[in-house]
Every structure is written in structure tokens, then in C-alpha cells.
Amino acid sequence: MSKSKLTKHSVFSSAGSLNYIGKAITVDPTINLVTYNAETLDSVPCSKISELPAVFSEEMVTWIEVSGIHKPKMIEKLGIKYDFHPLMVEDLLNTTQKPKIEYFPKNNHLFIILKVPNYNETTNEIENEHICIVLGQNFVISFQEQDHVDVFSTIITRLNRVNSKTKARDSDYLFYSLIDIVVDNYFQVIDIIEEKVMTLEREILKEAKNIHQNKIFYLKRELAFIRKTLNPFRDIIQSILREDYNYVSQEVKVYFRDVLDHVFENIDATDTLREDIENLMVNYHSQLSNRMNAVMKTLTVFTAIFMPLTFIVGVYGMNFENMPELHNPHGYFVTLGVMFVLCITLWVYFKWKKYI
Amino acid sequence: MSKSKLTKHSVFSSAGSLNYIGKAITVDPTINLVTYNAETLDSVPCSKISELPAVFSEEMVTWIEVSGIHKPKMIEKLGIKYDFHPLMVEDLLNTTQKPKIEYFPKNNHLFIILKVPNYNETTNEIENEHICIVLGQNFVISFQEQDHVDVFSTIITRLNRVNSKTKARDSDYLFYSLIDIVVDNYFQVIDIIEEKVMTLEREILKEAKNIHQNKIFYLKRELAFIRKTLNPFRDIIQSILREDYNYVSQEVKVYFRDVLDHVFENIDATDTLREDIENLMVNYHSQLSNRMNAVMKTLTVFTAIFMPLTFIVGVYGMNFENMPELHNPHGYFVTLGVMFVLCITLWVYFKWKKYI
Amino acid sequence: MSKSKLTKHSVFSSAGSLNYIGKAITVDPTINLVTYNAETLDSVPCSKISELPAVFSEEMVTWIEVSGIHKPKMIEKLGIKYDFHPLMVEDLLNTTQKPKIEYFPKNNHLFIILKVPNYNETTNEIENEHICIVLGQNFVISFQEQDHVDVFSTIITRLNRVNSKTKARDSDYLFYSLIDIVVDNYFQVIDIIEEKVMTLEREILKEAKNIHQNKIFYLKRELAFIRKTLNPFRDIIQSILREDYNYVSQEVKVYFRDVLDHVFENIDATDTLREDIENLMVNYHSQLSNRMNAVMKTLTVFTAIFMPLTFIVGVYGMNFENMPELHNPHGYFVTLGVMFVLCITLWVYFKWKKYI
Amino acid sequence: MSKSKLTKHSVFSSAGSLNYIGKAITVDPTINLVTYNAETLDSVPCSKISELPAVFSEEMVTWIEVSGIHKPKMIEKLGIKYDFHPLMVEDLLNTTQKPKIEYFPKNNHLFIILKVPNYNETTNEIENEHICIVLGQNFVISFQEQDHVDVFSTIITRLNRVNSKTKARDSDYLFYSLIDIVVDNYFQVIDIIEEKVMTLEREILKEAKNIHQNKIFYLKRELAFIRKTLNPFRDIIQSILREDYNYVSQEVKVYFRDVLDHVFENIDATDTLREDIENLMVNYHSQLSNRMNAVMKTLTVFTAIFMPLTFIVGVYGMNFENMPELHNPHGYFVTLGVMFVLCITLWVYFKWKKYI
Amino acid sequence: MSKSKLTKHSVFSSAGSLNYIGKAITVDPTINLVTYNAETLDSVPCSKISELPAVFSEEMVTWIEVSGIHKPKMIEKLGIKYDFHPLMVEDLLNTTQKPKIEYFPKNNHLFIILKVPNYNETTNEIENEHICIVLGQNFVISFQEQDHVDVFSTIITRLNRVNSKTKARDSDYLFYSLIDIVVDNYFQVIDIIEEKVMTLEREILKEAKNIHQNKIFYLKRELAFIRKTLNPFRDIIQSILREDYNYVSQEVKVYFRDVLDHVFENIDATDTLREDIENLMVNYHSQLSNRMNAVMKTLTVFTAIFMPLTFIVGVYGMNFENMPELHNPHGYFVTLGVMFVLCITLWVYFKWKKYI
Ligand SMILES: [Mg+2]
Ligand SMILES: [Mg+2]
Ligand SMILES: [Mg+2]
Ligand SMILES: [Mg+2]
Ligand SMILES: [Mg+2]
Ligand SMILES: [Mg+2]
Ligand SMILES: [Mg+2]
Ligand SMILES: [Mg+2]
Ligand SMILES: [Mg+2]
Ligand SMILES: [Mg+2]
Ligand SMILES: [Mg+2]
Ligand SMILES: [Mg+2]
Ligand SMILES: [Mg+2]
Ligand SMILES: [Mg+2]
Ligand SMILES: [Mg+2]
Ligand SMILES: [Mg+2]
Ligand SMILES: [Mg+2]
Ligand SMILES: [Mg+2]
Ligand SMILES: [Mg+2]
Ligand SMILES: [Mg+2]
Ligand SMILES: [Mg+2]
Ligand SMILES: [Mg+2]
Ligand SMILES: [Mg+2]
Ligand SMILES: [Mg+2]
Ligand SMILES: [Mg+2]
Ligand SMILES: [Mg+2]
Ligand SMILES: [Mg+2]
Ligand SMILES: [Mg+2]
Ligand SMILES: [Mg+2]
Ligand SMILES: [Mg+2]
Ligand SMILES: [Mg+2]
């Protein structure tokens, strides 16, 4: 969530400069070449760009699945091979680039950038993985960061299934499936946050404590972070539905409407949680005020009962020679009685005023 | 209102996967087959999908009324029989799906999802029932959850009435009637909440108590919940009015404008209640502040009156050998008099400062 | 302002059901039939619907002025006579229906619903009167509730004037005049509220009191109520200006622009008052805080001055055998002097800290 | 800023009724007739409407400059002479009418209403002067209130200059110049308010005082007042740029874009000041809270140090016969020592807790 | 950030008046004449306007780079030489003019105004430098203020590079490069503010102090300032993308989309920081409240424990003749014991109430 961990954006470099901006990674990127149609499926790992086909079969769907974008040289080679626009390669390498959709008319590339949120168990922070997908004629090229999570493994599993619906369809359906998987990840992360909010709610409604203040602070920020990465999804999917991009068929648009539903569901859930947090904060502050009130009442009752009593005993502690009461044999007991009655009276008064 | 009670959304399943997402129910779904025109009306319960007609009469309106969507197999069979789009069946089964309108051009199905709010007397929470309605050529198929409430029973009653206006009209009027009944349910629920808000208002304006804080918290949430399910109704009805969907005639659109009026009335009432709650909260906090002020004033008056008096009696409690006043025979009484005057003076001062 | 006083909306009745929803009234409705052109004017009261003309003269403007909508049977008859749409009659009878404009193309009826606010002197609340106006070919039919206020009496007076501009014009000018009169009523009610806000402002800026808290509460609600009924006026007039409704001529549209100006002026004034109230509330709370601060300072000064003094006199009240100071003949006076100096020092200190 | 000083709007009068609504003024209005082209300039005062030309020269620009709109009769005569629409004359006379633009197609009159703000030194309030400008074929007629300020005097000066750019151009450039001058006045008034806000800021950031609370209150209102009169300027100028009004040439539109820039600059400055005021208020309240905290700490330190000491001296002031310490010759001094150590300990403790 | 340092805007001057509005500068402006195409590059400093070419070569791109706009006479001469519109020259000279885009159709000049933010190390304030760029046929003329920063030096460096992409392209690419550099500067300034916000966050989350209040105040203002100058960038770039200005080719528009991305990234970062500041402020106030609560509890515990004890010792300090306890030889020790038990009891009670 903080930029400081990343290799810095070299802001003054010229457009299309190919620098990787993201976490330092040492493992080599991996490339998977998947080709399929309704009948066959072929999946081979490639270690070099040169092993990839120069042109794509028209009978089959080709999916080049790249894991790891931290080698600019390699990504640049791939870009040159498939004629990517330099600005597109720049965005591929920049993990701080926000989600967006871009269409390059010269080579008919539809290019989208997405973010997959993951809950990092060790830092207890949400981290965004940078995902890029290129849709062209009969092919899809996907890019993800090289880390312990492989967001697209489910799709591989589905393709391997007998009677796979995905296999029987075109590259646009694969394109949709990849986006759908990314959106599905938000459900998981939002569920984790919802769990946290509900735990906090249970705790605060039972008894607000100082520690809750910072918990609210961090939850609000996490929700703001999620909301901010979700927002562009709406525009991206709506752009796919509205514009008539090459290679996105009318039948697959129905599926994109379904993804849009999921995006809205996630946005909606995030907003509900944000409202819940706001209400919790109001409740937290109300409880603080109430408790302050209670403390003040305790103080007032103690002061108001013992001050008059202390004054009375002070009176009879004076050393005047001529104080008739002191010589009265019942003086002491009468004084004790008067103080007892006064004490009871004040007690009842404050009980009636609801201070006790 | 909380997702945790439901069978979980299996987020990573492929599109069109048919899982029921909702409360666990054991009773079997029931299906009612109603066919009518201006002269005749026929209503028969069906226990199997195969008993339903394969094609619909053109002279009559056919209404298939399904109660219970917790058997995915059965809904799937029905979907196949009437050629429903797989995504439509997925939405039918997913009770967490938000209200929406969807048009499937291939088979000319107009599909809407709505929510009926019900006040659950035992949990004291508002629960949404998942309602789906499909409008096709000469037929309407409606789906509701299997529970103790039958939201569409009123329509059956109206159809059975002599000179029923509904019976004399087309399937689009039935479609409208079902939606209208759903919207009418919001009036009832909002009336219940309004009653609660007014009770709370009467209580708080009389005297704010700690207990009101959580009541405000829960009412705000209920209103946010209602507001959120009402919002999509506006878009759904406006879409029916604006688009020229097959099978929705111009004459019935006048009736949809009337439903839209009711939707706006409900939205308006909800917003008014939300503002009322906000104002109540401000008033609640003002009262807290005022009371705190009163407590502080009591404390200050007691302290400021008894502190000087206690000091004076302390002076004459000192054991110096040479203290002329102590030997004066009127010393004690003069001191008492001075303290009395001081006490009165301070009292008047605080009265004037409005502390008492 | 509260629905509970009204005959309840029978929410589950079918569309076009004719029930009166509003205050219970016993007096009979009155109907006035006014026909005029530039030269003549004829005004006759009618006691029955059957006395009204079946068709309207083309040379003259016919204005049927109905006062009292609490007899559904009568309104229904009128509706049948002039071919009103059933939903229009339903809205005529429903005093909780919000302001709106509706055009029925079949019979070329332009139908608007408005609200006239009246300050009820006894309950000290603003009440809305339900006003409906129908514009057709050469005729206007107006409906108002039967109460002590006749909102359209001014128009009658104008028509009776020599050289009346209204008389010389068409039915659309009469239609405009009726709407204009309704908007003019808002100026009056907003002036009354402005007066109240200014009185409250003068009081609070002088000295905030607990009683102001509830006054703010009720004024905010009144302004929200006015704002909510004013909002639809804007849409109604803008719809008349934008759409080319039959029977509304281009020349009269200039006058509707003038009405729109008045609507905006009223909206503007309401918003200004709402901001004023918000600012007043902030000021009210600031004063509370300041006063709390002053109370705390008083308490602190009393405590901090008398605590050390009481401690000193306590020291010389101890009964130790060996306390040299006690035997010093000036001990008492030196102690008094020391305490005096201490008292002055603390006083100066708190003066400097601005506690006093 | 308060309506109460004005002759009241007679709300129920019919449209086009000619009543002056504004401050009572006794001096007579003045009229100036200015005719010019690139070579010549002629400026004559007129005392009567009849002295004005009936038709306007086509070779020259005619500017009729009216100062004083408090004589409805005179304005009405002028209106009849030049065929003004009755609603236009009504607006001319109504100083409470908001800024707007109106086009009367019948006689090709473009009519705008503006407000010039002036800082009234005596009441220390901003006052709006009502300005109206009519643009027709070869002529401009301007109206301002009769007061000590002549907002258009600068234009006269410019026309009299040798090589005056204004003189060489058409009536639309004069029209632009008048509007530009009005907008320029806002810079001055906003500068005055900016000065006030900065003074207040300097004072509050140094030390918040009770008096600042009302200063904030009045500055917020002034800014809201300015913002509200500036808003319609944007729409008016944008309307001139967008619509193709007769007599406004494409070349002069460039100048109107410049005026629009100035309007936005003023709006921007106003909004910045509003935010500044909001931040100042937050800072003001923070300081109050901090000071309350400091007061409470002082109270607590005094109480917590002297209460235990007073208790100890109280113990040895008891009169029990058998109290061994009292007979110890060092008892008194040991007790003083113990109290001294206790005092230091508590002092250090509160120092560490940052209470002191 | 404050206008008071600048030569004042002479608000009532006529349009196109050529006054410099900005910081007083004494050094002379410098002009650089750069001409290039893919093969050659020529860069010569000019001391006079007359040394500049009267017409621009069609084979090459001409870039006139002006540093220093504080000599109105010189800028005016330049304006006359290249036929600038008078309003354009006025804006060039006015450093308070907001960013905007303007197209002058007569001479096909596309004119934009931008602001470059710089962090002034001495005043610790952000300062905006006024930047203007004119794009015409085969030429670009850029203007910046004469100060220690040369914002365009990077471009010169790039042009001098072997295989410079910029050199091989048209004037529109140079135009884009200049704007891109300006936007890049925002990344730097926002990074500095982000650093400040994070430092403040670390400090406040550790322990809120009074000093943080003013730091929050100034950071909020800085962010508002940045946000306000960033806003118009969005409109300027979107206008370039949407409109088909002469001399801006379709291929270079892809690069402008990239700049737009950067603008949105900056806006987004600013908004995130604003939310962070808001949340920090809430946290700051929560901590204040909590601390106030702690202080009150300390006070209450001290008071409530010592008040009863002081009262008890006061009782046995009374001088009544007949007080049996005083003569009891264990009286003193029993009293001490009772007080000890009372003290422990109250301690436990307040521990249980979480006051300690
Ligand atoms: Mg961030
Ligand atoms: Mg760059
Ligand atoms: Mg990110
Ligand atoms: Mg999905
Ligand atoms: Mg779905
Ligand atoms: Mg949900
Ligand atoms: Mg929920
Ligand atoms: Mg899925
Ligand atoms: Mg739901
Ligand atoms: Mg209904
Ligand atoms: Mg209705
Ligand atoms: Mg209501
Ligand atoms: Mg608050
Ligand atoms: Mg109904
Ligand atoms: Mg109403
Ligand atoms: Mg009017
Ligand atoms: Mg008017
Ligand atoms: Mg007004
Ligand atoms: Mg006002
Ligand atoms: Mg009127
Ligand atoms: Mg005004
Ligand atoms: Mg100007
Ligand atoms: Mg300008
Ligand atoms: Mg400015
Ligand atoms: Mg606050
Ligand atoms: Mg500024
Ligand atoms: Mg000017
Ligand atoms: Mg600036
Ligand atoms: Mg850049
Ligand atoms: Mg980029
Ligand atoms: Mg960022």
C-alpha cells in the first residue's frame, strides 16, 4: 500500500522508456504457451521469447500466459515480436499504473490493466498484484507478477475439464474468463474485511476501548484502498459493453454484463462496510462521552456529599473558648446524627437527579 | 441482512454454474399453473416440470407461479424447457443477486429481479425475499422463495374476482401487477420503521438516554438497507418506460409510470426518515453536552461554597498559643455569622451566573 | 406533516381504485363553472356534475373550479363525464401524491399536481393542500381541498376586473395563472420561516439556551419539508417549457419562464435559510463549549487557591507536642500573612493564565 | 442582505405588474444618451423619455445609460417606447430578481440582469446593486440603481480616450465592456473579504478567543452571499458563448471567454476562502479542546497533591488520647519531611504523565 | 500561495491591457531559438526579438524558448511579430491566470497555460510557476518565469541525444513533451507532501500533540492548493484528445492519453492524502478525548479516596467533651485500620470500574 517499497517511478524519463517499477524479484519469469480449440488442448512452458510462435493459428485460440514482469528486456522483446505500442509496454512494466482499458487501432490490440488484491498474512496488509491482458485476433496474452499466487490457475483447470465450456469458445470468452477471475478475487478480500468489521462491531457495541480507535483508522483506509481500485473496473467493463471493439462478440457481452454485476456487488459491499465503519465511529465517540459523563457524576457525588460533612466536623474542630455545643454531653452524637441525615438527603437528591 | 447465514457464493465457479445460494429450506417447491383470458380462468398445481405445457396458448395468458428456488435441479430443468439463458438461471438461484433488469434478445425474454422486504418478528430484522419475473410471449413466469409469506396471493384473488380488470388484459398487465405488488410491500415496511423513528423521537425529545444510542445505530442501518434495495427499482422501471421491450405495450406503460411514482414516494419517505434520524442524533448529543454542563455546574457550586468555609474553620482549628479571636467570647458566633454571609454571597453570585 | 392523521393509503388495492386519502371532511364540495372571453364573463355555482356542460364552447374559455375532493363518487362521475384516465382520478383523490406532471395522449389531457403550503396557526405547523389542474382544449379544470383557504379566489377577482389581461387570453394563460398563484404562496410561507430563523438568530447570537436546541430541530424539519415539495415544481415547469404540449402556446411559455424564476427564488431562499440554521447550530455548540470552559476555570481557580491554604491551616492544627511555631507569639499572624501572599500569588498566576 | 429593508414584493399581483421593489430613494433618476462611432462621440443628458430618439442610427452605436430605477412610471414609458416585454420591465424594477439572461425573440432583445457588490462602510455589509442591460440592433440600454456609486463611469472615460478600442467597435463590444466592468467589481470585494479572513487566520492561529466565533459566523455568511450571486454569472456568460444570439459577433465571443475566466477566478477565490474558514473553525475548536484539557490537568494536579497532604495533617489533628507519634519530639519534623517527599514524588509523577 | 506578494491585478483596465502581474524580477529575460529535424539541431540564444525569424521553416521544427515574462514591452513585441491575439498576450503576462486551453481560429494558434509547482526550501511553501505554450504551424513557443529552475532543460538534453525520438518527430510531439514535463513535476511535489503526511501519521498514531494541529492545518491547505491547480489539467488534456485541433496528429494523441493517465494518478494521490489527513484529524481528536477521560478519572480517584478519609480524621479532630472513642486506648489504631480498609475497598472498586 505504500509506494516506498517499490523501485521509484523515474518521472522525467521520456515516453515509452522501459523501466520496471515494482517489488524487487530474483526468480526468473515463466511463460506458458496454451493453444486449444473444442477438440484439442496443448500447453507447453517456454523459457525464451524466441520459442513463441511468430504468427497465431486461425483454427485455434492461443493464450500466452506470462508470470513475472520484472525483466524489462524480456517484456520488450515480446513487445517487439508482437508489435506492441511502446506506451503499452511501459504500462505493462509499471505496477503503480492504475486499472484502465486502451485500444490501439493500428494493430487492433485491446489492452486492459487490472489489480488483484491479496491479503498478505505476514504484514496484515492488502497488496495489489498488477495484471495486464492483451486481446488480439485469435490470441490472448496475459501478464501477472511473479509471486506465490497464480491467479489464472483456475482457468487452466477448467480448460482441462472434459466438456469444458471455455474450450469450445473463442478468444473473447477466454479474455472474459480472465477478467471474471480477477473480479472474483475481490469477493474474497471483501469477505475478510467484512469479518474484521463485524468483529470490531461486536466488540465496540459491547464496550468501546481506546484500542478500537486505531483499528477503525486502518479499516477505513483498507476500504478506501479497495474502493479506489474497484472504481476503474466499472468503466473498463462498461467500455467493453458500449464500444464495439474488434474480436469481442455480442454473445460474450452477456457474460461481461454478468461481470459488471459482480463489480457492482463488490462496490456495494465496500460502501456498506464504509457506512458501517462511520456509524461505529459515531457509536464509539458516543460511548466515550457517556463514560465521561459517568466519571463526572461520580466525582460530583463524592465531592458534594463529603464537602459539607468535612465542613461540619471542621466547625467543631475550632478552638474557640466559648462554644456551648462542645460542652453538651450529647453534642457529639447529635452532630453525628445530623451528618447522617444530611448524607442520606444528598444521596437521595443525587439518586433523583440520576447521578447515581 | 448478514451474508453469513447463507450457503456461500462459490465465487470461483465458471459462469452459469447452477448453485443455490440462500437459506437452507427442506419443504419442496410448489408450482402453480394459471391460464386465463377475459372469459375463463384455470389454476392447477403441478408437482413436476414435465406437467407444464411445452408451448403457450396464444389466446390466453399463461402464468407459471413458482414458490421455492432451493432445488437447483428443478429450476435447471425448467430453464432448459423454456430455453432460459444459463446466466439467467444462475441469477434465479442466487438470492444475494441485486435487483436488476436484463433482456435476452435471442429468445425475447425480459427478466427482472426484485426484493420484497419482510419484517421478521422473531429476529426483529428486515429480511429480503428474492423475487424473479420472466416476461415472454403470452406468458409470465414468477419465482419467489418458499417461506410463510406468499407475496402474489393478492393477484390470484383479483383474477378470481368478477369483472377483474387484470383478467381482461394481456400478459404485460400481469407483469406490471406483480411488480406493483412488490413495490406496495415497501410502504408497509417503511411504515413500521416510521413508527419506530417516531417513538424514538418522542423518547429522545423528552429525555435522551444511553440506550437510544444503539437504537439510532440500528435504525440508521435498517434505513440504509431499505434505501439500497429501493435504488435499483428506479432504474428497472425507468428502463421499462424508456426502452421498447417486446410485449410491453404503450397502454401498460402508463401503469408503470404509476409504479415509478410509488417507488419515488418510498425513496422519499426513506430519505426523510434518514434526515430525521440524523437530526435526532444531533439532538441526542446536544442533550448529553447540556447534561455534562449541568453536572459540572453542580460540582463547581459545591466546591466553591464549601472550600472557603472549610478553610475558615481550619484557621480557628490551629493550635497557636497567641490567637486573640479564640478568647473573645463572641468569636465563635461572629465566625458563624461571617461564614453564613459568605455562603449567601456565593450562592447569589452563582445564581446570577446561572450555575444554579 | 404526519401521515397518521390521514385515512390510510390502501396499498394493496389494484391500480385506478378510487379511494379518497386525506383529512376527514364533512361539508359538501362546491363546483364553480366559469366561462369567459375578452368580452363576457359568466360564473355559476353547480351543485351536481350533471349540471356541467357535456362539451366545451370553442369561442370561450371554460374553467371548472372544484373545491373539495373528499367525495370519490362525485370525482369519479366527473372523471367519466370528461373521459379522465382512471390513474388520473386515483391521483386526484390521493392527497399524499407528490407534485408531478402527466400527459395523457389519448384524450390530450395535461395534468399537474401541486401543493400549496399553509401555516396552520393552531398547530403551528405547515400543512400542504393538494391541488390538481387539468388543461384540455379550451378548458381548465382545477381541484383543491375543501378548507377555509380558497387559493384561486385572486384569479376570480382578476377576471372580474375591467381590462383584465387574463380574460383576453386563452385557456393556457389561465392554466399559467393558477400555477403562478400556487408558487406565490411559497413566498409567504418562506417569509414566515425567515422571520422565525432571524428571531432565533438574534436570540442565539445574544445567548444560547437549552430551549434553542429543539427550536433548531423543528425549523430544520420545516425547511426540509418545504424544500422537498418545491423540488418537483422545477421539473414540472421545465417540462412545460421543454416539451411541446398541445394547447400551451409559445407566447405563454415566456410567462412560465417567469414562474420558473419564482420557483428558483424560493428554492434559493430555502437553501439560504438551511445554511443559516446549520451555522446557528455550530454557533450554539461553540457557546456551550465556551461556557463549559468557563465553568471548569471557576472550579479550578477555587480549588487551586483554597487547597493549599486549607493544607497550611491543617498543619498548625496538628497536635504534636513539639511544634516550635505554635509557641511563637507572632506565629499566627505570620501564618496569616504567608497565606495572604500565597493567595495573591495564585490569583495573579490565574489572572495571567486567563482563568479569571 | 436582508429583505426586510425593501419595499415588499407584492407576490399576488398579476404578471407584468409594474411595481418598484427596492430601497426608497428620493433623488430623480438620470438618463445619459451616448452615440458614437470610430470617429465621433456625442454624450447628452436627457431629463425626459420623450427627448430620447425614437429610432436608432445604423451608422452609430447608441447607448442609453439610465441611473435610477425607482420611478416605475418612467421605466414603463421607456419600455413602451422601445417595445420592451412587460415581464422584462417587471424584472427591471425588481431589485430582488436574481441574475439571469433572457432572449425575447419577437423584438430581438437580449436582456441580462447582474448584481454589483459594494462594501457599505457604515453597516459593514456587502450590498448588491441591481444592474440590467438590454442589447438590441445598434443599441445598448443599461440600468443601474441611483446611488453614490456609478459602476459604468470607467466606460465613459474609455470612450473619451484617443484611439479608444471600444469606440471603434460595435454595440456588442459595448455590451461586453459593461458586463466585464461588473465582474471586475467582484475582485475588489473578494479582496476585502480575503483581507478579513487573513487577519482572522493570523489571530486565531496565534490564540483562539470567544470573539472569533461570531467573526467566523459572519464571514461564512458573506462568502455564501457572494458565491450565490456569482453562480448565475457562469450560466449567463456560457449561454452567450453557446447560443448564437443576434448582434453578438464571433469576434466579441473571444472577449466573453475572457470574462468567463474572470468569473471562474472569482468563484475559485471564494471557494478557497470558504475552505480556509472551515479549516479555521476546526482549528478554533481544537484550541478550545486543548485549553480545556490544560485546565483539567491543572485542577487534577492541585487536587492530587494537596488532598493526601491535607489528609496527613488531619490525622495528626485528631484528639485521641493514645497517639504515640504526638509525643515523639521529632514527630512534627518527620511528618513535614514525609509530606515533602510525597509532594515531590507526586510532582515527578505528574511531570512524567505530562500533566504539568 | 498568497496574492499579496504580487504586483496587483489592475482589475479595471480594458481587455488586452499589457501589464505584468507577478513577482518583481530584475534580471533580463532570455530567449533561446531551437530549430531541428531528424538530422540536424541548431540552438542559438537571442537577445532581441528582432533576431528571431519572421517566418518559420517548413522542413524543420522551430522552438522559441522564452525564460522571463516580466518585461511586458518585449512580450508585446513578440506578440505583434507572430500575430498573437491581445487577450493571449494579457494572459501570458498574468501569473495569477489559472491553467486553461484556448484556440484562436484566426491565426490557428493553440494556446495553453499551465502551472509548475516548486517547493521553496526557504519559505517551506509550494510556489507555482506560470508556464505558457503556443503551438502553431511547424513551431512551438514556450514561456516560463525567470527563476532558478529551468523546467524545460530536460527536453534540450533529450534533443541533443543520439537517436532522439523527439527530434525525429513533428512540432506536436514537442508540444506534448513540454506538457508531459510539467505534469511530471507534480509527482515530485506530491511525493514531498506524502513524506510529510506519513511522518505526521507516524507521530500522531504514536502520540497526538498540540503542535500537530497546525501541521494538519497547513498540510490540508497545501493539498487543496495542489488539487486546485491539477483540476484544469484534466480538462486541458481531454480537450486536446476530444477536439481536432490543427497540427495535433492522431498518433501523438496516444501520448496525450498517457499524460492524462499521469494527471489522474496525481489527482488520485492527492485525494488519497486528503482522506488520510481527514482520518488523522479524527484520530487526533479521539486521542484528545481519551486523554481528557484519563485526566478526569485520575481526578475522580484521588478525590473519591481522600475525601472520605479526610472526613473521618476531621471527625476525631472535633473538640466535643464527650467523645468516648477518644479515650479508648486502641481508638487511634482502630481508626487507622478502618481507613486502610476503606482505602483498599475504594481502590478495588475503581479498579473494577476501570478508572485506574
Ligand atoms: Mg495509496
Ligand atoms: Mg515521462
Ligand atoms: Mg495500486
Ligand atoms: Mg465472477
Ligand atoms: Mg449473474
Ligand atoms: Mg451483498
Ligand atoms: Mg448488507
Ligand atoms: Mg464465476
Ligand atoms: Mg439483498
Ligand atoms: Mg402500487
Ligand atoms: Mg398514482
Ligand atoms: Mg412523508
Ligand atoms: Mg460531533
Ligand atoms: Mg396499488
Ligand atoms: Mg405531502
Ligand atoms: Mg408569481
Ligand atoms: Mg420576473
Ligand atoms: Mg431572496
Ligand atoms: Mg439572503
Ligand atoms: Mg405574480
Ligand atoms: Mg440579491
Ligand atoms: Mg474583467
Ligand atoms: Mg484573460
Ligand atoms: Mg487567485
Ligand atoms: Mg467537532
Ligand atoms: Mg490561494
Ligand atoms: Mg478588464
Ligand atoms: Mg496559481
Ligand atoms: Mg509524464
Ligand atoms: Mg503510461
Ligand atoms: Mg499511487
Does C272 lie at the interface with D, CB-CB under 8 angstroms? yes
Mutate to test the interface with B, among C101, C109, C210 (most CBs of B within 10 A): C210
- C-alpha angle D187/D188/D193, rounded to 5°? 95
- d(CA C192, CA D11) in angstroms, rounded, equals 14
- d(CA C186, CA E319) in angstroms, rounded, equals 79
Q: Tell me, what amino acid is at E3?
A: K
Q: What is the overall mean pLDDT for chain A?
A: 90
Beta-carbon count within 10 A of D72 CB: 18
Residues E48-77 have pLDDT tens digits of 899 999 999 999 999 999 999 989 999 999
- d(CA D194, CA D200) in angstroms, rounded, equals 10
pLDDT score, position C5: 45
Question: What separation in Å is there between the alpha carbon of E265 and the centre of ligand 2?
Answer: 13
pLDDT score, position C1: 43
Torsion of CA E335, E340, E342, E344, to 10 degrees: -170
Question: What separation in Å is there between the alpha carbon of C169 and the centre of ligand 11?
Answer: 32
Torsion of CA B319, B323, B329, B334, to 10 degrees: -90
Q: Are D113 and D232 in contact (CB under 8 A)?
A: no
Residues A95-107 have pLDDT tens digits of 989 999 999 988 8
Beta-carbon count within 10 A of A131 CB: 24
Among the partner-chain residues B268, B283, B319, the one whose CB lies closest to the CB of C217 is B283
User: Along chain D (356 residues), what's the average pLDDT of each consecutive run of 10 residues?
Assistant: 47 73 83 93 91 92 94 93 93 92 91 92 87 95 87 90 85 96 94 94 92 93 94 95 91 94 94 94 92 93 94 94 92 94 95 88
Torsion of CA E240, E244, E248, E253, to 10 degrees: 60
Hey, which residues 169-188 in chain C have their CB within 8 Å of chain D? 176-177, 180-181, 184, 187-188
Environment class of D205 (CB within 10 Å of its CB; exposed 0-12, middle 13-18, buried 19+): middle
Closest CA to E84 of E169, E9, E18: E18
Q: What is the overall mean pLDDT for chain D?
A: 90
State mean pLDDT over C76-87: 94
C-alpha cell at B306: 464549601
Question: What separation in Å is there between the alpha carbon of B128 and the centre of ligand 9?
Answer: 6
C-alpha cell at C65: 373550479
Residues B97-114 have pLDDT tens digits of 999 999 998 889 999 999
pLDDT score, position B1: 43
Provide Rg for chain D, Cα atoms. Answer: 35
Q: Residues in chain A with pLDDT < 70?
A: 1-12
Question: What separation in Å is there between the alpha carbon of E215 and the centre of ligand 24?
Answer: 23
- d(CA E190, CA A5) in angstroms, rounded, equals 17
- pLDDT of B96 > 90? The answer is no
Residue with cell 522525467: A12
Q: Identify the closest residue of chain C to B259 by CA–CA distance.
A: C15
Q: What is the overall mean pLDDT for chain E?
A: 90
Q: Which residues of D touch C320 (CB under 8 A)?
A: 316, 325-326, 331-332, 335
- d(CA A156, CA A16) in angstroms, rounded, equals 33
| Interface contact D12-C158, CB threshold 8 A | no
Q: What is the overall mean pLDDT for chain C?
A: 90
Q: Tell me, what amino acid is at D188?
A: Q
Q: Tell me, what amino acid is at A192?
A: I
Among the partner-chain residues A188, A304, A321, the one whose CB lies closest to the CB of B327 is A321
Does D307 lie at the interface with C, CB-CB under 8 angstroms? yes
For chain D, the helix, strand and coil percentages under 3-state DSSP, each to the nearest 5: 55, 15, 30
- pLDDT of C2 > 70? The answer is no
Cα B253 to Cα A213, B37, B60, B260, distances in angstroms:
52, 20, 21, 10
pLDDT score, position E10: 58
Q: What is the overall mean pLDDT for chain B?
A: 90
| Interface contact E184-A221, CB threshold 8 A | no
pLDDT score, position A104: 92
Closest CA to B278 of C289, A278, C189: A278
Model confidence at B303, in pLDDT bands (50, 70, 90)?
very high
Does E311 lie at the interface with A, CB-CB under 8 angstroms? yes
- pLDDT of C8 > 50? The answer is no
Does A87 lie at the interface with E, CB-CB under 8 angstroms? yes
CB under 8 Å, gap of 24 or more: what pairs does A150-158 form?
A150/A67, A151/A116, A151/A181, A151/A182, A151/A185, A152/A65, A152/A178, A152/A181, A154/A181, A154/B12, A155/A181, A156/A34, A156/A43, A158/B14
Q: What is the DSSP string of B114-172?
A: EEEEEEETTTTEEEEEEEEEEEETTEEEEEE--SS--TTHHHHHHHHSTT-TTTTS-HH
Residues B262-300 have pLDDT tens digits of 999 999 999 999 999 999 999 999 999 999 999 999 999
Q: Which residues of C touch B317 (CB under 8 A)?
A: 313, 317
Question: What separation in Å is there between the alpha carbon of C256 and the centre of ligand 16?
Answer: 9
State mean pLDDT over C139-143: 97
Among the partner-chain residues C15, C317, C332, the one whose CB lies closest to the CB of B255 is C15
DSSP D29: P
| Interface contact C100-B261, CB threshold 8 A | yes
Question: What separation in Å is there between the alpha carbon of D13 and the centre of ligand 20?
Answer: 5
The complex's ipTM works out to 0.85
pLDDT score, position E11: 60
Give the phi and the psi of residue A325 in degrees, each rounded to 5: -55, -35
Q: Which residues of C touch D332 (CB under 8 A)?
A: 318, 320, 322-323
Q: Which residues of E touch A292 (CB under 8 A)?
A: 289, 292-293, 296
| Interface contact B264-C313, CB threshold 8 A | no
Question: What separation in Å is there between the alpha carbon of C72 and the centre of ligand 11?
Answer: 15
Q: Are A63 and A159 in contact (CB under 8 A)?
A: no
pLDDT score, position C147: 76
- d(CA A348, CA D356) in angstroms, rounded, equals 38
Kindly tell me the sign of the dihedral angle through the C-alpha atoms of B167, B173, B175, B176.
negative
Cβ–Cβ pairs < 8 A, chains C and D? 133
- d(CA C177, CA C257) in angstroms, rounded, equals 13
Residues E107-143 have pLDDT tens digits of 899 999 999 998 888 888 898 999 999 999 999 999 9
| Interface contact D304-E309, CB threshold 8 A | no
Q: Are E301 and E350 in contact (CB under 8 A)?
A: yes
State pTM to two decimals: 0.87
- pLDDT of E92 > 50? The answer is yes
pLDDT score, position C177: 95
Q: Who contacts D44 (Cβ-Cβ below 8 Å, separation ≥6)?
A: D32, D33
Q: What is the DSSP string of A220-261?
A: HHHHHHHHHHHHHHHHHHHHHHHS--TT--HHHHHHHHHHHH
Mutate to test the interface with C, among D21, D289, D295 (most CBs of C within 10 A): D295
Residues D119-137 have pLDDT tens digits of 888 888 898 999 999 999 9
